[in-house]
Chain A
């Protein structure tokens, strides 16, 4: 057992040695006189940069912080100070551990040391010997919030943004005391929300009022006088004039009855939504479970061990890679022309009035706030679409998401028409009609004479080639692909498809429009399936190949579970529709040949119409018996046709689905994905492997712990098996 009370700074020399050019957040101390003559030592964490470079906690920062607190402990002992408070530079307490040098952690001992340093430094606040406070003035993420959790008392600013323990989202755990301290302060259920539920909800973080509500802060203080009033509040506490109540602090009953049950429920919930592939959530759950009976030292030792294991693991490195893609690369799309050449979009035309067209019209309306014109060959459909959009606007109003003035504004901006001449003022026209090449070609060709010559055309096609759709245009150079993912309002990705003839100004416009829609755009070439659908076609194709090879859908789902995809292949098929799924496989097979699989079984299932049975609430309850039979018959027929003379045993094996073991199915998929990604990169479908990963994370919900997909393909050896190399040099993986 390690003793946390006695580490010395020189124990951490190895971490300092690899801290490189750490941007140190200094610990500045000011003595603040309190009203009654006492003194509060106010520590400000400040790295000297503006708010775009938040305070982070690297080894030098932590050691300076610890040294500062140790000096304050001596001053407290000497009676010079009567309280210690920590706050941050404007808008920011601290954004957590400095992860910029994590690649340099090449040794498990170093990983262990990182946890111990965090505990030593942050824990020093609890040792100062006088009441300790954290004034949470702004951003407090991960280690930043853990600083505050080590204090005796916390205040939070009403204007603070970005408070949370997002470690699990990144493949880590709150291992600098958070996993232990959070439930001691706010109770197990709220701690589960903070440590598990929020990070797994697209990394949700809290603002000041929400943090106070959760019990993370003892008082919520208006922002205009946050620091002054926090100091006054601390003075009252120090003087004993104010007693702080912690309504959520766990009592005996909670420890005896609620704690274990709450962790069990949360564990089940995580298993249901994420499967068992990601390590961090389960590691966090076990830390929270153990926090019930541990003392501080035991708990911190356990956190050190768990943190070290995760820091050294593959999933964390892949998660960090994916996080950086989403944070940085997604905001500056590779291959996007300079935004300055984009054309202004002051009026939007939407061709089509079906489900997708309505979603698009609503999105453009809400985000661009320019006139949106809808048309369709069917006038009744246009009227229905307008009515739908007005209903959505009124719902937004009812929910308080927009004001009455906003609603009036939006209602005044949406129009339907049955005349293409009305599109003359549109400078951006997007089509979302039925996926039929001739229909789309003719629609654009009919529209073009009515348009301003500078108007940009966009298609939301998913399965056709953009250049084919523009074949009948006088100016095909102004047509771009602009491919959304369903649900449009939620999915953050748009594939911006550049044809061979597409001009830079139209492309630039597409990227600017995507940004104004608050979507992340990735540039892809005009090749069947673009990026996301092409790789999903590999996934579905390999799944169907396994089914036709004799495995059941259930076995395929099971075999691919280690990937931790947002849903198993059967559910994905159900979601996109069996008919669409069959079509997707066909077009990829047609475009790329044998690398893709086309499945008669899937067509037959589409005719049948059902793969999964659901209850009245729409929850999946199992595989549809008819569908299972169709799949089995297909296997049997194949067996009859292809295995004349083979042993009956093998056929029986196929029938019962014992052929094609789980590892084989997974390996086949890994190899197929590695092959296809490699091919796509060679063909220049996207600029780099990073864009493939970005597309899969943002467009298909692939988990961070796979790093999208290419870090995973490297680390499981698929890249090596398929093309004798890796996508990433050095590979994105943990300590080997």
Chain B
């Protein structure tokens, strides 16, 4: 008895506009599960040929799994989105890598022949669920010095990267942040971002409104303005609100499936999964997690960094992206890196962000048939990194 192993392909992905997580943010009165359901319905509506009962699982990442992000969110969302009752669902948590983990685990099931089609995604309403809210860290963390006091303060872990790599200066971080805003603005101007946004009606104190764009980008920011921002994690520190991603509300959803199912349903998948890897580092310096994860993913793929044509790196903090680039001797402003900007401009709704990276990577592939391999990576709280490597299915390079 053998199982039917399969290639895993990325079919389509969407997200809600990302809102500022604050009681004045556009989604302050919108539930997390409703955001997620909007993304799911929007995704299914624009893929009308996919029979809903063929979805083998709904796998959703959320860093906080209580309240409107509780009750095993994948199943909740499936019911709320009107999927057939026969479609199961569950939630996963790997903090910021929730959606990426959801994708990887569902991909594993597809690759092993257990699933043919999975709906993956993530949601984080950081306004309703501040990071680590409700958590009760074990006192042994501190009494036995298992982790440093600042390990749970993400901004402090980013400062730690500056400590370890003094040549990754605040000026470089600010410049990277400035470029992120600039690139995001350009992508918006070109209509690249909006095509994958599902508009969300949201109640406000002054009537219903329709969210059609991200709320966080600051296209008018300047390097000079960034330089003047406060460093909330340390006096005279380096990490500012400007060179870090903002607190964000948002949801993402994507469809991945087996290559044979895509063929059967005459879908045009955009990319093929090559490898994925998760790795751990010291929690106090969690932002360098992508380095070992990427090394592992490359090794599993049998590729070298020079084989990668395009990068989607989650910009939790500018310095944390710089540390990965620096490790591989990639210039700060390499055009292959985050061509449409990143989380510093658009926001980072923790467990939702992984799928945003994949959506954008798949769009870069479509735009650049000459690209063959792309890499998405992100750092994860408590000292982890996550990396996925995908192959462009519209790639001319592939035929070489």
Q: Does A42 contact B (CB under 8 A)?
A: yes
Q: Does B41 contact A (CB under 8 A)?
A: yes
Chain B residues within an 8 Å CB radius of A222: 82
Q: Does B105 contact A (CB under 8 A)?
A: no
A377–chain B nearest beta-carbon distance, Å: 50
Q: Is the CB of B212 within 8 A of A33?
A: yes
* CB proximity to B under 8 Å, residues A32-73: 32-33, 42-44, 46, 48
Q: Is the CB of B207 within 8 A of A228?
A: no
Which of these, B37, B80, B199, B207, contacts A30 with CB under 8 Å?
B207
Distance of A44 Cα from B205 Cα, bound (Å):
10
Distance of A28 Cα from B202 Cα, bound (Å):
13
B212–chain A nearest beta-carbon distance, Å: 6
Chain B residues within an 8 Å CB radius of A32: 209-210
Chain B residues within an 8 Å CB radius of A231: 199, 201, 210
Q: Does A733 contact B (CB under 8 A)?
A: no
Query: A-facing mask of B69-87, CB < 8 A → 1, else 0?
Result: 0000000000011100000
Contact (A224, B37) CB under 8 Å given A33-B212, A231-B201: yes
B205–chain A nearest beta-carbon distance, Å: 8
Q: Does B200 contact A (CB under 8 A)?
A: yes
A143–chain B nearest beta-carbon distance, Å: 19
B33–chain A nearest beta-carbon distance, Å: 11
Distance of A340 Cα from B208 Cα, bound (Å):
41
Query: A-facing mask of B329-368, CB < 8 A → 1, else 0?
Result: 0000000000000000000000000000000000000000
Distance of A225 Cα from B200 Cα, bound (Å):
8
B138–chain A nearest beta-carbon distance, Å: 40
Q: Does B206 contact A (CB under 8 A)?
A: yes
Q: Does B38 contact A (CB under 8 A)?
A: yes
Q: Is the CB of B41 within 8 A of A225?
A: yes
Q: Does A29 contact B (CB under 8 A)?
A: yes
When C-beta atoms are compared, the residue in chain A nearest to B42 turns out to be A225
Contact (A90, B203) CB under 8 Å given A224-B41, A225-B38: yes
Q: Is the CB of B203 within 8 A of A89?
A: yes
Query: B-facing mask of A211-252, CB < 8 A → 1, else 0?
Result: 000000000001011111001000000000000000000000
Distance of A637 Cα from B199 Cα, bound (Å):
86
Q: Indicate the member of B38, B206, B208, B210 with the most A CB atoms within 10 Å.
A: B208
Chain A residues within an 8 Å CB radius of B34: 224
Contact (A44, B207) CB under 8 Å given A222-B82, A224-B37: yes
Q: Is the CB of B37 within 8 A of A228?
A: no
Query: A-facing mask of B39-68, CB < 8 A → 1, else 0?
Result: 001100000000000000000000000000
Chain A residues within an 8 Å CB radius of B204: 30
Distance of A89 Cα from B206 Cα, bound (Å):
10
Q: Does A87 contact B (CB under 8 A)?
A: yes
Range class of the B interface residue count: 20 to 34
Query: A-facing mask of B201-224, CB < 8 A → 1, else 0?
Result: 101111111101000000000000
Distance of A89 Cα from B38 Cα, bound (Å):
19
When C-beta atoms are compared, the residue in chain B nearest to A137 turns out to be B208
Range class of the A interface residue count: 20 to 34
When C-beta atoms are compared, the residue in chain B nearest to A32 turns out to be B210
Chain A residues within an 8 Å CB radius of B201: 226-228, 231
Q: Is the CB of A42 within 8 A of B208?
A: yes
Chain B residues within an 8 Å CB radius of A227: 201, 208, 210
Q: Is the CB of B82 within 8 A of A224?
A: yes
Q: Is the CB of B209 within 8 A of A228?
A: no
Chain B residues within an 8 Å CB radius of A89: 203
B193–chain A nearest beta-carbon distance, Å: 15
B199–chain A nearest beta-carbon distance, Å: 5
* CB proximity to A under 8 Å, residues B166-214: 198-201, 203-210, 212
Distance of A642 Cα from B281 Cα, bound (Å):
114
Which of these, A42, A224, A225, A226, contacts B207 with CB under 8 Å?
A42
When C-beta atoms are compared, the residue in chain B nearest to A43 turns out to be B207
Which of these, A33, A87, A225, contacts B208 with CB under 8 Å?
A87
Q: Is the CB of A228 within 8 A of B199?
A: yes
Which of these, B81, B205, B210, B212, contacts A224 with CB under 8 Å?
B81
A732–chain B nearest beta-carbon distance, Å: 38
A224–chain B nearest beta-carbon distance, Å: 6
Distance of A46 Cα from B206 Cα, bound (Å):
8
When C-beta atoms are compared, the residue in chain A nearest to B45 turns out to be A225
When C-beta atoms are compared, the residue in chain A nearest to B200 turns out to be A228
Distance of A226 Cα from B34 Cα, bound (Å):
12
Q: Is the CB of A224 within 8 A of B209?
A: no
* CB proximity to A under 8 Å, residues B13-39: 34, 37-38
A227–chain B nearest beta-carbon distance, Å: 4
When C-beta atoms are compared, the residue in chain A nearest to B40 turns out to be A224
Chain B residues within an 8 Å CB radius of A44: 206-208
Distance of A48 Cα from B34 Cα, bound (Å):
21
Contact (A28, B206) CB under 8 Å given A222-B82, A228-B200: yes
Distance of A44 Cα from B29 Cα, bound (Å):
15
Chain A residues within an 8 Å CB radius of B203: 89-90
Distance of A48 Cα from B206 Cα, bound (Å):
9
Distance of A29 Cα from B41 Cα, bound (Å):
27
Chain B residues within an 8 Å CB radius of A43: 207
When C-beta atoms are compared, the residue in chain B nearest to A46 turns out to be B207
Distance of A224 Cα from B201 Cα, bound (Å):
10
* CB proximity to B under 8 Å, residues A3-46: 28-30, 32-33, 42-44, 46
Distance of A222 Cα from B210 Cα, bound (Å):
17
Contact (A228, B82) CB under 8 Å given A28-B207, A44-B208, A46-B207: no
Distance of A87 Cα from B81 Cα, bound (Å):
23
A322–chain B nearest beta-carbon distance, Å: 36
Chain A residues within an 8 Å CB radius of B212: 33
A373–chain B nearest beta-carbon distance, Å: 37
A147–chain B nearest beta-carbon distance, Å: 15
Chain B residues within an 8 Å CB radius of A90: 203
B389–chain A nearest beta-carbon distance, Å: 35
Which of these, B80, B205, B210, contacts A228 with CB under 8 Å?
B210
Distance of A28 Cα from B80 Cα, bound (Å):
29
Chain A residues within an 8 Å CB radius of B41: 224-225
When C-beta atoms are compared, the residue in chain A nearest to B80 turns out to be A224
Q: Is the CB of A228 within 8 A of B208?
A: no
Distance of A42 Cα from B206 Cα, bound (Å):
11
When C-beta atoms are compared, the residue in chain A nearest to B198 turns out to be A228
A470–chain B nearest beta-carbon distance, Å: 50
Distance of A240 Cα from B16 Cα, bound (Å):
28
Chain A residues within an 8 Å CB radius of B206: 28, 30, 44
Distance of A336 Cα from B206 Cα, bound (Å):
42
B153–chain A nearest beta-carbon distance, Å: 37
Distance of A46 Cα from B198 Cα, bound (Å):
25
Residues on A lying within 8 angstroms of B by beta carbon are 28-30, 32-33, 42-44, 46, 48, 87, 89-90, 222, 224-228, 231
Beyond the given pairs A225-B38, A228-B38, 14 more chain A to chain B contacts, judged by CB atoms under 8 angstroms and listed by A's residue number, are A28-B206, A29-B207, A30-B209, A30-B210, A43-B207, A44-B207, A44-B208, A87-B208, A224-B37, A224-B82, A225-B41, A225-B42, A228-B199, A228-B200
Residues on B lying within 8 angstroms of A by beta carbon are 34, 37-38, 41-42, 80-82, 198-201, 203-210, 212
**Pairs A-B, 8 closest by C-beta atoms:** A28-B207, A44-B207, A227-B201, A28-B206, A30-B209, A32-B210, A44-B208, A228-B201
A-B contact list, 21 entries, CB within 8 Å: A28-B207, A30-B209, A32-B210, A33-B212, A42-B208, A43-B207, A44-B206, A44-B207, A87-B208, A90-B203, A224-B34, A224-B80, A225-B41, A226-B201, A227-B208, A228-B38, A228-B198, A228-B199, A228-B201, A228-B210, A231-B199
